[in-house]
Amino acid sequence: MISCSTQPYVSMDAKKELAPTGKLRAGMNLGNTLFTQKSNSGELQGVSVDLMQELAKRLGVPLELVIYDEPGQVAEASAKGVWDVAILAIEQTRAKTLTFSPAITEIEGGYVVHQKSSISRIEQVDAKGVKIAAPVGAGYELYLTNALKNASIVRTKNFANSIEVFNLKQVDVLAGLKPNLMDSMSKFPEGKLLDGHFMVINHGFATPRGKNAADEYLRNYVKELNESGFVARSIEKNNIKGLTAVKK
């Protein structure tokens, strides 16, 4: 059982904005297994579930999990009013339609190249003619879209599709969350993981823009979560490697 010693006050306005239907509808992304997994019985579990359960408990409302296969689908659905809060990578393109809380976690983004590739360092990837596979709508794909000056992105359906096009040698580089890349090395035996990272990805709570009371509450909630070590305990409980809690 993970718990916090203190709880920020919940105003009526914040509760109405976070749970306008009388329940907390949490947008859940199955595409990032560092945050959300399915148990053998098919139930959702993980850091995201722990955080949403705690938030619903503090609001005094039931929790409803609104499930999506990929992060881009969660972000795209924000304007439809079908979820109230989600955990997503904090990214400037998404910030046009979403408000983010302070960061709760850190994950490194990394690259895999082919064994015989002339690319041996992270800084060599952004070169003319280099093709990088990345799932459309992923936080690191959005980052690379803005950051790359010379290389091009081959946008895939999901991480599994990125692995497929990499193995078919349709791209030179496979981009991904570094823990996922490390866990998947057996799926691309002719690949090698480059040292270092091209970005540090922060995740936080996201709400559709315009919910000022909800955003203020989530800022205080995250501050308390970080100070109490709640996120770190959830990561340890779920045995997640490569996901780091932001320290106070």
Domains and CATH numbers, the chain: 12-105+201-245 (3.40.190.10), 108-199 (3.40.190.10)
Instruction: Indicate the SS3 state at residue 187.
Output: helix
pLDDT value at position 64? 97
Burial of 46 by CB count in 10 Å (0-12 exposed, 13-18 middle, 19+ buried)? buried
pTM of the shown model: 0.83
With DSSP H G I counted as helix, E B as strand and the rest as coil, what are the percentages for the chain, rounded to 5? 35, 25, 40
pLDDT value at position 71? 85
pLDDT value at position 9? 78
Span between the terminal Cα atoms of the chain, in Å:
22
Output the tens digit of pLDDT for each of the chain's 248 residues: 555 555 667 899 999 999 999 999 999 999 888 999 988 888 999 999 999 999 999 999 999 999 999 888 999 999 899 999 999 999 888 999 999 999 999 999 999 999 999 999 999 999 999 999 999 989 899 999 999 999 999 999 999 999 999 999 999 999 999 999 999 999 999 999 999 999 999 999 999 999 999 999 999 999 999 999 999 999 999 999 889 999 86
pLDDT value at position 220? 95
pLDDT value at position 70? 87
pLDDT value at position 242? 87
Q: What DSSP element (H or E) covers 234? A: helix 230-237
pLDDT value at position 124? 98
| Main-chain dihedrals φ then ψ at residue 141, nearest 5 degrees | -65, -40
Distance CA 40, CA 220 (A): 35
